């Protein structure tokens, strides 16, 4: 549809600049993540279980370290951020599978999605989200002043290999890209086990598209620009299926499960597509999702104002923090009328849409 990658955007609008790795997280040791002996982040199901390589976790950690590296002023911290980013890239390069004239980054563990039927893999398996995000990691790392020419050459070769994987259709394996029955291009976060199938996951595809934008910016590739245009056209065409009007957007097209933890991701990702294309269509999508279900968090000192007069207060069936619980359904439990003789205020700690109703503030007085 003629979506063009706009490349001369401010630094803070470029991919991954909004997700720096904080200094206290540069050496993680949590229930699910830790660093191995090579400084590569590992994912573990729990404290006492062994960890393993998870490409998207490694890529996003590396990109976060690159973002932090750009703005860090302390030399020692800056050096460690770069060391961490290089370690993640090195592991991806070391474990790559070269096939079909492309580089693929394998998930070395079996995986079955807890709520999405059909997402059931035996190792090794591959994800279009990882393939596209790897593009961003390799391109962005190659541009830092702290890498040697030899490293830069390696990272650019890795980017070329990752990009090639986004040109391989589902007529052989492995594959992460296909056209749907209507001819629209999809980068599959969770490719199906048979050609033409998959979860058609929105956030994973857009994250991969950021890699295409980075690759176009760095190389000027007309083929990558065409692929970026095609992917943007797909998101534009299928936004009505992502959107769940006046409620939480759907995680994927295959299962259409409203997922509150990804709704704000969708808002942020579509906003970035607006920046990367200049298209008002993506800006409008962003605004619609904000209106459907705005971010519920409020500043600690937030207050709401009541004008003098009569107001109705409601109590809904939520969790202890006022958030939605599917089994409770935001059922109305109580209402009462109050009258104020003058304008007044009350503290509020949540703002969200109540299911099948408007947007409400939660008073925590």
Does the pLDDT of residue 115 top 80, yes or no? no
Going by pLDDT thresholds of 50, 70 and 90, the confidence category of residue 221 is: very high
**How high is the pLDDT of residue 321?**
92
Average pLDDT over residues 102-129: 91
Does the pLDDT of residue 117 top 80, yes or no? no
Q: Which CATH number fits domain 11-292: 3.30.70.3270, 1.10.3720.10, 3.40.50.720, 1.50.10.20?
A: 1.50.10.20
Does the pLDDT of residue 273 top 80, yes or no? yes
Please write the tens of the pLDDT for every residue from 11-42: 999 999 999 999 999 999 999 999 999 999 99
Rounded CA-CA distance 241/235 in Å is 10
If DSSP codes are grouped into helix, strand and coil, which group holds residue 361? strand
Please write the tens of the pLDDT for every residue from 293-335: 999 999 999 999 999 999 999 999 999 999 999 999 999 999 9
If DSSP codes are grouped into helix, strand and coil, which group holds residue 107? strand
Does the pLDDT of residue 158 top 90, yes or no? yes
Location of structure tokens 């969790």: 319
**How high is the pLDDT of residue 120?**
87
Does the pLDDT of residue 363 top 90, yes or no? yes
Tell me if the pTM is above 0.75.
yes
Average pLDDT over residues 102-116: 91
Does the pLDDT of residue 53 top 80, yes or no? yes
Of 361, 203, 363, 365, residue with least CA distance to 296 = 361
Domains of the chain, residue spans = 11-292, 303-363
Going by pLDDT thresholds of 50, 70 and 90, the confidence category of residue 114 is: confident
Going by pLDDT thresholds of 50, 70 and 90, the confidence category of residue 1 is: confident
Per mean pLDDT, which range of 71-85, 184-198, 230-244 is the poorest?
184-198
Quick one: three-class SS letters along 304-349? EEECCEEEEEEEECCCCCCCCCCCCCCCEEEEEEEEECCCEEEEEE
Asked if 187 and 128 touch (Cβ cutoff 8 Å), the reply is yes
Average pLDDT over residues 36-65: 98
DSSP string, 22-36: PGGGSS-BSSSEEE-
Going by pLDDT thresholds of 50, 70 and 90, the confidence category of residue 213 is: very high
Q: Beta strands 344-353 and 359-363: pairing type?
A: antiparallel
Please write the tens of the pLDDT for every residue from 165-211: 999 999 999 999 999 999 999 999 999 989 989 999 999 999 999 99
**How high is the pLDDT of residue 271?**
99
Rounded CA-CA distance 351/290 in Å is 12
Rounded CA-CA distance 86/92 in Å is 10
């Amino acid at each position: 549809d003629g979506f063009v990658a706009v490349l001369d955007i401010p630094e803070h609008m470029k991919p991954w600049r909004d997700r720096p790795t904080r200094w206290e997280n540069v050496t993680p040791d949590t229930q699910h993540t830790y660093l191995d002996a090579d400084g590569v982040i590992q994912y573990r199901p729990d404290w006492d279980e062994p960890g393993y390589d998870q490409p998207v976790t490694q890529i996003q950690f590396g990109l976060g370290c690159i973002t932090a590296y750009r703005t860090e002023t302390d030399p020692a911290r800056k050096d460690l951020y770069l060391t961490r980013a290089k370690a993640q890239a090195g592991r991806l390069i070391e474990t790559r599978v070269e096939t079909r004239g492309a580089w693929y980054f394998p998930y070395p563990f079996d995986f079955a999605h807890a709520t999405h039927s059909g997402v059931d893999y035996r190792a090794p398996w591959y994800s279009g989200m990882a393939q596209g995000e790897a593009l961003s990691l390799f391109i962005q790392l190659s541009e830092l002043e702290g890498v040697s020419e030899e490293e830069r050459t390696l990272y650019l070769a890795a980017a070329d290999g990752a990009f090639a994987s986004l040109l391989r259709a589902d007529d052989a394996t492995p594959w992460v890209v296909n056209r749907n029955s209507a001819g629209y291009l999809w980068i599959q976060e969770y490719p199906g086990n048979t050609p033409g199938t998959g979860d058609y996951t929105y956030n994973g595809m857009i994250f991969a598209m950021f890699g295409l934008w980075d690759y176009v910016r760095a190389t000027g590739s007309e083929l990558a620009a065409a692929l970026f245009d095609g992917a943007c056209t797909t998101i534009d065409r299928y936004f009505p299926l992502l959107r769940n009007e006046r409620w939480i957007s759907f995680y994927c097209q295959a299962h259409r499960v409203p997922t509150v933890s990804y709704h704000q991701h969708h808002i942020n990702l579509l906003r970035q597509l607006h920046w990367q294309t200049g298209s008002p269509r993506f800006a409008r999508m962003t605004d619609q999702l904000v209106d459907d279900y705005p971010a519920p968090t409020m500043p600690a000192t937030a207050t709401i104002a009541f004008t003098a007069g009569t107001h109705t207060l409601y109590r809904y069936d939520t969790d202890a923090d006022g958030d939605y619980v599917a089994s409770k359904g935001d059922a109305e439990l109580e209402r009462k009328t109050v009258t104020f003789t003058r304008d007044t205020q009350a503290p509020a700690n949540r703002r969200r849409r109540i299911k099948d109703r408007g947007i409400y503030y939660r008073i925590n007085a």
